[in-house]
Amino acid sequence: MFRTARYAVLLCGAAMCFSALAAAPAGELSLMPWPKQVQYASQAGRLELNNGITINVEGDQLDEMVTRWRHRIALQTGWTLQPQSANVARPTIWIDIAQKVDPFPKEDSDESYRLSVSAQGIKLNAATRFGALRGMETVLQLIRPDANGVSIPWLTIEDSPRFAWRGLLLDSARHFLPVSTIMRQLDGMAAAKFNVLHWHLTDDQGWRFATAHYPRLQHMASDDLFYTQAQMREVVRYAARLGIRVVPEIDLPGHASAIAVAYPELMSAPGPYQMERRWGVLKPVLDPTNEAVYQFVDTLVGEVAAIFPDSYMHIGGDEVDDTHWKENPRIQQFMQEKNLADSRALQAWFNQRLETILEKHHRRMVGWDEIFHPSLPKNILIQSWQGQDALGNIANADYRGILSTGFYLDQPQSAAYHYRNEVWPQGLNGVDNLTPQDKAQSWSFTMPRLKGSAVEGSFTLIAGHEQQTWRGFVDFNGKSRRAVRNISWINDNQVTFSVDTWMGEVRPVLTFSNETLSGYFLVGNVRYPVSGKKQAAVPKGIAPTVPSEAQMANIIGGEAALWAENVVGSVLDIKLWPRAFTVAERLWSAKDVNNEDNMYQRMQRIDAWSTISAGTQQHGQALSHMMRLTGTGDVLALQILAQALEPAQYYTRHHLKYQAGNYHQFEPLNRMADGLAPESMTVRQIDKWVDRLIADREDRNSELALQHVLIRWRDNVKDVMPLIENNYVLKPLKPVVEDVNRLSELGLRLAGLVARGEPIDDRQRQAWQRELDAAAQVRDEVVIAVVYPLEKLLRAIGRSSN
């Protein structure tokens, strides 16, 4: 079954224990999420495994999972495992569960476990089956082939989650997701130790819940794309086997266009209504004054509760357009009679009635920020899409909340951005406290967007009196102050810095001229032009809302969200994996597990592991997408081109579709952008090589590595261009290919100049900067991401005296 290998090396002469990744031996473990505590044995050794591996469980019935785990081990190793007898005297993996519990997970399910690997084998102790499930995912991540075979180091892991609610929202309403796709995501979720599937089943564009009492909903408002009750029950059962709760969302009273199509008599404005195909916030809304609405909701909640056993039901409640309420004289009269001051009070009144119905069916309400109101009981749960300040206010009022802002995976963003998104609201640590010695300058800014109102506010940069160190903060209008980082003066009148926002990471590049500023905000990877002027004084700003330590306990976790305007099943895994592991780690692991470089190293290994072991299809979907675009199995040239590209980040793709009149359900998701990962790992590696070369121009390894990739991109043009020209979908990328070719040549020249320490004159610098600026534009919803590492190289080159 197994054998042990001993090594003479001792780690510090005693046990090594660590929780934060900075202390972990480099490259030793690639676990994700990172456990609460890992301790290596005092004497280094490894448990070597072979195809006789066996698993024994005591304390609960997990036979089906044992079969599943053995199958995954076979997938990971390539072995054909020897049959396992019914009674194994000395199993390789011994799982001891202290308490047998209901197999359907609950909010307070104990997920803790202790894992010990020694010469005697693998021992997994768990309080309940749910801890055993989480612990076995750790075991499976530890089982990896290396140069000497398959083995696990001797160690002990003590682990439990930081937050009880670790969810993932899947949106089946806007684009229907097949049951097989849902099941596959549950496998990935279990691998990442998520424990809540938030299933968004209804919205304006589709009703996906088959109801026996109101069948017109699925027959008139779903295009016959809906889940039968048997299918939903099967999803619930499958999720429970993996230790995952399923919380259904039925949107009430807004996002109700689908209800309006089937039952217009329940709405606040007369019908008839047509199936809604557009994206956005739409007007149809239930009539809170109509008693038939509450009979409808009562019957529907009863059906939902009969299928989904979880104690929570999500009622949406967000983005209610009150136009029809305001235009309906009867509703306005009702509000006067009930002393309801405004539409928010009317929605709260509706939610009170709804909460009573949920209580009747033994369900608790969970909804988005808009349901937060003192008229509702404290046992509701509020999911925040409005950010940590809103969440802080929720916690201060002694309501419980979970965070989704910053975890929206439908937006292509860097994994690092999601990883930095701390769930608990944070203060400014005195960054805005000015002393007499500080020199502060404040500037207003306006950043127009492609859709919606401009983003406005101000930023303040402060030169400290000690060694002229810089710090600063941003005040976005209507939002709390945010500290900035990485302030760098490009020259005397040009500055850049970074700040994480609800839009993603923003990196301004700003030029000051007299009393005005110009330049752009790099939102993710897309440039948005800005303008502004100098302020006479530092603005007062809004302080972040930071609850007390006791009230912080009201924040019980968070959820990643994958909204489906730009997602269909055939590309879903590309958007979700492996990036969702970074959110899972933020929700499971300790707050001080925050080393981004280490995260990326582990995530790249988890990317491969999750594909093999859990069956996630990010790579297979990307390959299929490119095969469809090229019409051939030879997609290497397109894959090489893709290394230089990223989909336009933030909501840029949504907004471009809106401007083009294509912001609707039938817009094909068949572009190159749809098959790209949210960020290019190749470009990220290039950025690291550039940093090393700038820090040490004699770093020949970094220079050669950089040259190797750029030469490959340059030489790829002759192979990829025929593919581009022969497909109508790819044709718009022809100028992108030409720019990648030019940038590859430019990158080779810049790297050589940096390595040799040769300067250039201002005229040449400006010409190359114009070339980079031109290549930075969004075309066909993609960005040439390598622009920014090359821009670093250009800035690092000295100026000649000419």
Cite the active site residues: 319
Residue 481, SS3 per DSSP: coil
State how far the Cα of 569 lies from the Cα of 567, in Å rounded to an integer.
7
- Per-residue HEC secondary structure of 775-786 comes to HCCCECCEEECC
362 neighbors 311 (Cβ within 8 angstroms): yes
Looking at the DSSP bridge assignments, the partners of residue 488 are 496
Angle, helices 681-695/596-609, rounded to nearest 10 degrees:
150
Contacts of residue 430, defined as CB under 8 A and 6 or more positions apart, other chains included, come to none
Q: In the numeric block, which tokens belong to residue 798?
A: 């000295």
User: 29, 38 in Cβ contact below 8 A?
Assistant: yes
3-state secondary structure of 10: strand
Q: Which residues have C-beta within 8 Å of that of residue 514, sequence separation ≥ 6?
A: none
Interaxial angle between packed helices 580-588 and 596-609, expressed in degrees from 0 to 180 and rounded to the nearest 10: 120
C-alpha distances (whole Å) from 329 to each of 335, 336, 341, 575 are 10, 11, 15, 46
Extract the tokens encoding 492: 């005397």
Sheet holding 526-533, edge to edge: 482-483, 470-476, 455-463, 439-447, 526-533, 516-523, 504-513, 494-501, 485-491
Cα–Cα distance for residue pair 489/590, rounded to 1 Å: 34
Q: Which amino acid is located at 391 in the chain?
A: L
What is the rounded distance in angstroms from the CA atom of residue 268 to the CA atom of residue 263?
11
- Three-class DSSP category at 638: helix
Describe the chain by its helix, strand, coil percentages, rounded to 5.
40, 25, 40
SS3 category, 112: coil
The CA distances from residue 616 to 192, 383, 609, in Å, are: 11, 27, 9
Residue with tokens 């202290």: 98
Distances (CA, A) of 159 to 20, 420, 422: 13, 22, 20
Which 8-state DSSP code applies to residue 633? S
State the DSSP code for 611: I
Q: Beta strands 504-513 and 494-501: pairing type?
A: antiparallel
Check: CB of residue 346 under 8 Å from CB of residue 288.
yes
